[in-house]
């Protein structure tokens, strides 16, 4: 997201999901859309049915590949090289939108110079994608009148994730594919309210609405509304918090609805950090692996038990409505926060959640026009500055928030831990269709857990054959950080030399293995690439049982 903020001044999906069906070229990179954003994928299929060309760039044979016109199977972590090669072809074949570049961007020359060396041949050598396909992708994408790009964690969860995003931004800028309906660059949000949590500034550097804490005017506005003095110093991000906890600098941590033990890279480190704290409060609906470590656990209400709003991946603010009562003494998170606040001497008095939202609107222009009454008729996409504004399906129509969009000169950097003799496999992690995130919810849905009961590691049949690993056999997967034991799923989804583990399962947590190295700008961990080894486990007792 920080990447897009640098380029455009805003890091959101440029289009709305319904616009997808009018794309004539869809370029999906690093997104297993059919499994992780199933409903967005349906719009893509609708577009394909209407005649759109679907290009997939993904190292794995993801379900959407079946519907693709072109599948670029790049090696893990080589996205920059792939995109740079595509850009090289576009420039060389004069497939770029000069008018757009001239009027709405800056920095084209340096960006173009950076891809000079990325001939399709060089691209093929780094990415493994045949040069013909690179050229074809460039031509198809450039020929699209309504071309849009979709990506998710396959792009961002790398040590060079921001570079990946920059190179995709270069691509849309080069083609002039922005500022119109059904063209753009769309990071699909993984969780229900990632967009909202960002908007609401659960972030160390900004107030709600991306207003910098260091900005005096912004701070003054918030201080006036909240009637309290606020800090101007940027705080710690989640990663820094863990190191600070380990270092003893951070004493108290209040976690609401999060399970870092499962979701963060390098579980050992996370556990150690949390145990080093003086006081940990976890507020959740289940006794998560993180809650187990807490000094106090506060029982919260789930989505069906409370009122509020979520902001989905396409900036659509939508109502959450209470349908049932929470169990026992569980309470809304907001109630708990207000009680705590009161106990600490600060009054938060809201009759209901709509008043909270109205306060957000007073502080952030982009949602000023949204209120609960309007949302009775359905969600509204911000920016929506006034109550007679219909909302904004696509962004950057006339200008970018930063004026001219910035090209970036992007260099290719390999992932930080590549396979070697000792750890010969590349491990990639991610989600699968049935389970969700750390599994706290879905693993408590009987039907889902019946159908997707066990942790598994996907192994290519060639590797499995070479190592005599049968489908369903137990294997040990180890990295320099730890090892887990789980079932082998022999499938041609991953390529030879690559294994994939979904991270939903605590009994074989993928993040025991992952490499806690971070993108220097976004602080997103490199969950998509690390080096592991596989060992077959000889377990005769399985037969006995």
Partner 1 sequence: MGIKLTIDGKEVEAKNGATILQTARDYGIYIPTLCDNPALEPYGGCRLCLVEVEGMPKPTTSCTTPITEGMKVKTVTPQVERLRKTVIELLLSDHPNDCMTCERAGDCKLQEFAYFYGLRSNRFYGKRRQYTKQDGNPFLERNMDKCILCGQCVRVCNEVQGVGAIDIAYRGFDAKVCPSFENDLNCEFCGQCVSVCPTGALTGRIWSKKGRTIGIKEVETTCSYCGCGCQLNLHVRGNEIARVSSKPDNHNEGWLCVKGRFGYEFITSPDRLTTPLIKRDGKFTEATWDEAISYVAERFKKIIADNGPDAMAGLSSARCTNEENFLFQKFMRAVVGTNNVDHCARL
Please, what is the minimum distance in Å from the beta carbon of residue 151 to partner 1?
Answer: 13
Measured distance CA(486)–CA(459) in Å, rounded: 12
Q: Nearest distance from residue 475's CB to partner 1, in Å?
A: 24
Q: Are 124 and 130 in contact (CB under 8 A)?
A: yes
Nearer to partner 1, 104 or 315 (CB): 315
Smaller CB separation from partner 1, 66 or 98 = 66
Nearer of residues 234 and 462 to partner 1, judged by Cβ: 234
Helix (H) or strand (E) holding 309: strand 308-311
Residues linked to residue 185 through DSSP beta bridges, in sequence order: 149
CB of 152 to partner 1, least distance (A): 9
Q: What's the closest the beta carbon of residue 283 comes to partner 1, in angstroms?
A: 9
Q: If you search the block for the tokens 């692996």, which residue do you land on? A: 289
DSSP string, 153-166: HHHHSSTTHHHHHH
Q: What is the Cα–Cα distance from 320 to 303, expressed in whole angstroms?
A: 7
> Whole-number minimum distance, CB 255 to partner 1, in Å?
4
d(CA 393, CA 16): 5
Please say whether the beta carbons of 481 and 232 come within 8 A: no
Give the C-alpha separation, 545 to 543, whole Å. 5
To partner 1, the closest distance from the beta carbon of 215 in angstroms equals 13
Nearer to partner 1, 10 or 97 (CB): 10
Look at residues 427, 449, 312 and name the one whose alpha carbon lies nearest to residue 77: 427
The CB-of-34 to partner 1 minimum distance in angstroms stands at: 8
Residue reference for tokens 């000889």: 538
- Cis peptide leading into 24, omega within 30 of 0? no
- If the CB atoms of residues 78 and 309 are measured against partner 1, the closer one turns out to be 309
> Closer CB to partner 1, residue 105 or residue 334?
334
Residue with tokens 């220097």: 520
Nearer to partner 1, 222 or 412 (CB): 222
> Integer distance in angstroms from the first to the last C-alpha of the chain?
50
In the block, residue with structure tokens 């995109």: 83
338/508 with CB nearer partner 1: 338
416 and 515 Cβ atoms separated by less than 8 Å: yes
Give the nearest distance from C-beta 59 to partner 1 in angstroms: 20
Q: Which two tokens stand for residue 204?
A: 């160390």
Residue (90 or 356) nearer to partner 1, CB: 356
Residue environment code for 188-204, b if the CB has 16+ CB neighbours within 10 A, otherwise e? bbbebbbbbbbbbbebe
Q: Which is nearer to partner 1, 319 or 480 (CB)?
A: 319
Q: How many residues does the chain have?
A: 545
| Secondary structure class of 317 (helix, strand, coil) | strand
Cα 245 to Cα 236: distance, rounded to the nearest angstrom = 11
**Closer Cβ to partner 1, 85 or 415, answer by number:** 415
Which one, 109 or 325, has the nearer CB to partner 1?
A: 325
Query: Three-state SS for 232?
Result: coil
Please work out, in degrees rounded to the nearest 5, the angle formed at the alpha carbon of residue 221 by the alpha carbons of 217 and 222: 120
CB of 69 to partner 1, least distance (A): 14
Q: Compute the Cα dihedral for 281, 282, 287, 288 and give only its sign.
A: negative
User: Nearest approach, Cβ of 333 to partner 1 (angstroms)?
Assistant: 4
Tokens standing for 472? 């369903």
Comparing CB distances to partner 1, the nearer of 168 and 203 is: 203
Taking the C-alpha atoms of residue 68 and residue 63, their distance in angstroms, rounded to an integer, is 10
Contact by Cβ (8 Å): 406, 507: no
Q: What stretches of 60-130 show up as alpha helix (H) in DSSP? A: 79-92, 98-104, 108-115, 120-127
Give least dist CB 366 to partner 1, A: 12
Nearest distance from C-beta of residue 71 to partner 1, angstroms: 15
Q: Quick one: which H or E segment has residue 38?
A: helix 38-49
Min dist. Cβ of residue 35 to partner 1 (A): 8
């Amino acid at each position: 997201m920080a990447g897009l903020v640098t380029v455009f001044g805003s890091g959101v999906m440029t289009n709305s999901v319904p616009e997808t069906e009018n794309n004539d070229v869809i370029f999906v990179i690093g997104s297993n859309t059919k499994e992780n954003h199933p409903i967005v994928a349906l719009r893509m299929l609708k577009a394909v049915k209407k005649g759109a060309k679907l290009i997939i760039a993904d190292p794995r044979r993801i379900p959407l590949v079946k519907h693709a016109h072109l599948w670029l199977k790049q090696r893990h972590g080589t996205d920059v090289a792939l995109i740079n090669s595509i850009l090289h072809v576009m420039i060389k074949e004069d497939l770029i939108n000069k008018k757009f570049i001239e009027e709405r961007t800056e920095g084209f020359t340096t960006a173009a110079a950076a891809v000079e060396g990325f001939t399709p041949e060089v691209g093929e050598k780094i990415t493994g994608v045949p040069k013909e396909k690179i050229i074809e992708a460039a031509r198809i994408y450039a020929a699209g009148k309504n071309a849009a790009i979709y990506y998710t964690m396959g792009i961002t969860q790398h040590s060079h994730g921001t570079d990946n995003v920059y190179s995709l931004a270069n691509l849309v800028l080069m083609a002039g594919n922005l500022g119109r309906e059904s063209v753009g660059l769309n990071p699909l949000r993984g969780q229900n309210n990632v967009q909202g949590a960002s908007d609401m500034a659960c972030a160390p550097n900004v107030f709600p609405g991306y207003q910098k804490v260091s900005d005096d005017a912004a701070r003054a506005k918030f201080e006036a509304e909240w009637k309290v003095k606020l800090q101007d110093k940027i705080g710690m991000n989640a990663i820094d918090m863990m190191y600070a906890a380990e270092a003893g600098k951070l004493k108290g941590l209040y976690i609401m609805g999060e399970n870092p033990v499962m979701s963060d890279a390098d579980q050992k480190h996370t556990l150690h950090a949390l145990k080093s704290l003086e006081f940990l409060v976890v507020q959740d609906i289940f006794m998560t692996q993180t809650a187990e470590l807490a000094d106090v656990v506060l029982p919260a209400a789930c989505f069906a038990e409370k009122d509020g709003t979520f902001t989905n991946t396409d900036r659509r603010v939508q109502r959450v409505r209470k349908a049932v009562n929470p169990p026992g003494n569980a309470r809304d998170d907001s109630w708990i926060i207000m009680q705590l606040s009161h106990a600490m001497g600060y009054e938060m008095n809201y009759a209901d959640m709509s008043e909270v939202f109205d306060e957000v609107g007073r502080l952030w222009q982009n949602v000023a026009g949204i209120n609960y009454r309007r949302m009775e008729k359905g969600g509204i996409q911000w920016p929506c500055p006034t109550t007679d504004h219909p909302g904004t399906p696509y962004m950057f129509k006339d200008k970018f928030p930063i004026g001219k969009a910035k090209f970036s000169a992007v260099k290719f950097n390999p992932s930080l831990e590549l396979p070697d003799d000792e750890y010969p496999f590349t491990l990639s992690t991610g989600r699968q269709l049935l389970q969700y995130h750390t599994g706290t919810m879905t693993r408590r849905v009987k039907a889902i857990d019946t159908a997707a009961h066990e942790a598994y590691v996907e192994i290519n049949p060639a590797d499995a054959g070479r190592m005599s690993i049968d489908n369903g056999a137990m294997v040990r997967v180890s990295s320099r950080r730890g090892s887990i034991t789980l079932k082998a799923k022999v499938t041609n989804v991953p390529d030879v030399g690559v294994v994939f583990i979904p991270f939903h399962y605590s009994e074989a947590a993928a993040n025991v293995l992952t490499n806690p190295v971070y993108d220097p700008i976004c602080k997103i961990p490199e969950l998509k690439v690390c080096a592991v080894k596989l060992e077959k486990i000889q377990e005769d007792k399985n037969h006995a049982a």
